[in-house]
């Protein structure tokens, strides 16, 4: 599911307080922020970088009603058509007794469905790799990746980021999607040497 190799200008920030105005200025200057990688969830950053509201709850609702339908149709088919049993003289179509199972399947479908959707959207899966713009992004650095087009002057962007307070700036050619394999094999894809400290 590779998305192709693109060129990025990467700026690393030490502090949240510097990051927020930098994000604002970068967007105001018209550069396209690919993503911002932070060591912990930063409140309000999703709004600052202009991400749209997530639709995962809508997906969750759809999974949930799928679960409800699955439970009700299969139980009603089993207990009234496929294998009707006399349980304590209750009617075969015993709706109240099915509600707990229906509820559980609703929760199960929505929970598992949402987790899988979330992993897919974040491009996370076992044995799957994704490019890391900076290894310290999982430790103590706030890493902003700006996507370049053919017309982007990367020296200018780098200067802009340094001026905005970035402690470290570099240019990387990176795979945007995810792939199955190893990081080191992927390194050969780059035309220019990749900066990983």
Partner 1 sequence: MNHQFELPGSYKKWTYGLIVAGVVALLYGFIAFHPFASPGHEVSSTRFWAVLLQNSVYWLLVVNASMFFICVTTMAMGGWQVALRRVPEAISSVVPILGVITFVVLMAIVWGGRTDIYPWLDKAAVANDHILFGKRKFLSPEFFTIWSGITIFLWWLLGKKMRSLSLKTDEQGTMDYETGKKWVWNNTVFASLFAVVFTLTVASTIPWIWLMSLDPHWYSTMYSWYTFASTFVAGVSLIALFIIYLKNKGQLEYVTDEHLHDIGKFMFAFSVFWTYLWFSQYMLIWYSNQPEETKYFIQRIGTATKAGPFSTIFFVNLIINFLCPLLILMKRGAKRNWTLMTVMAGLIIFGHWLDFYQMVMPGTMHDKAELGLFEFGVPCLFIGLIMWGAGRYISGHSLLAKNHPFLKESMIHHT
Q: Check binding of 107 to partner 1 (CB under 8 A).
A: no
Q: Using CB under 8 A, which of the segments 93-101, 105-113, 164-172, 175-183 binds partner 1?
A: 93-101
Contacting residues for 62 by C-beta, under 8 A, at least 6 apart: 113
Could you say which of 99, 112, 159, 195 contacts partner 1 (CB under 8 A)? 99
Could you tell me the smallest distance in angstroms from the CB atom of residue 77 to partner 1?
22
Task: Give Cβ neighbours of residue 42 (< 8 Å, ≥ 6 apart).
Answer: 16, 19, 142
Decide whether 61 or 183 has the Cβ nearer to partner 1. Answer: 61
Question: Applying CB under 8 A, does 88 fall inside the site for partner 1?
Answer: yes
| Residue 44, both tokens | 């309000």
Q: Select from 77-85, 91-99, 123-131, 181-189 the region that touches partner 1 (CB under 8 A).
A: 91-99
CB of 28 to partner 1, least distance (A): 24
Decide: helix, strand or coil at residue 135: helix
Compute the 3-state secondary structure of the chain and give helix, strand, coil in percent, each to the nearest 5.
45, 20, 35
CA pair distance 42, 84, nearest whole angstrom: 55
Kindly state whether residue 97 participates in binding partner 1, applying the rule CB under 8 A: yes
- Given 4, 30, 41, 96, the residue binding partner 1 (CB under 8 A): 96
Output 102 or 176, the one with its CB closest to partner 1: 102
Distances (CA, A) of 6 to 68, 109, 172, 191: 44, 37, 8, 11
The beta-strand segments (E) located in 29-167 are 32-37, 128-130, 142-147
Contact flags string 41-60 toward partner 1, x per CB under 8 A: --x-------------x---
What is the C-alpha to C-alpha distance for residues 32 and 148, in angstroms, rounded to an integer? 8
Alpha-carbon gap, residue 47 to 19, rounded angstroms: 13
Q: Give the pairing type, strands 142-147 and 178-180.
A: unpaired
Closer CB to partner 1, residue 94 or residue 189? 94
Indicate the residue among 91 and 181 with the shorter CB distance to partner 1: 91
Single out the residue of 61, 93, 120, 183 in contact with partner 1 (rule: CB under 8 A).
Answer: 61
Binding site for partner 1 (CB under 8 A): 43, 57, 61, 88, 91, 96-97, 99-100
């Amino acid at each position: 599911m590779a998305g192709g190799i693109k060129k990025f200008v990467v700026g690393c920030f030490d502090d949240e307080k510097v990051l927020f105005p930098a994000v604002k200025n970068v967007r105001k200057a018209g550069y396209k922020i690919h993503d911002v990688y932070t060591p912990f969830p930063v409140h309000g950053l999703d709004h600052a970088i202009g991400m749209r509201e997530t639709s995962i709850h809508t997906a969750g609702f759809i999974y949930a009603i799928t679960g409800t339908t699955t439970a009700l149709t299969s139980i009603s088919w089993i207990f009234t058509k496929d294998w009707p049993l006399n349980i304590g003289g209750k009617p075969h179509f015993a709706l109240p007794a099915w509600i707990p199972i229906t509820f559980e399947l609703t929760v199960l479908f929505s929970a598992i469905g949402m987790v899988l959707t979330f992993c897919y959207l974040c491009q996370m899966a076992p044995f799957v790799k994704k490019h890391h713009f900076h290894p310290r992004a999982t430790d103590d650095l706030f890493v902003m990746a700006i996507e370049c087009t053919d017309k982007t002057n990367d020296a200018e962007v780098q200067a802009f980021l340094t001026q905005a307070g970035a402690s470290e700036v570099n240019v990387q050619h990176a795979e945007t999607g995810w792939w199955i394999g190893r990081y080191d094999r992927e390194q050969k894809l780059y035309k220019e040497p990749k900066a990983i400290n």
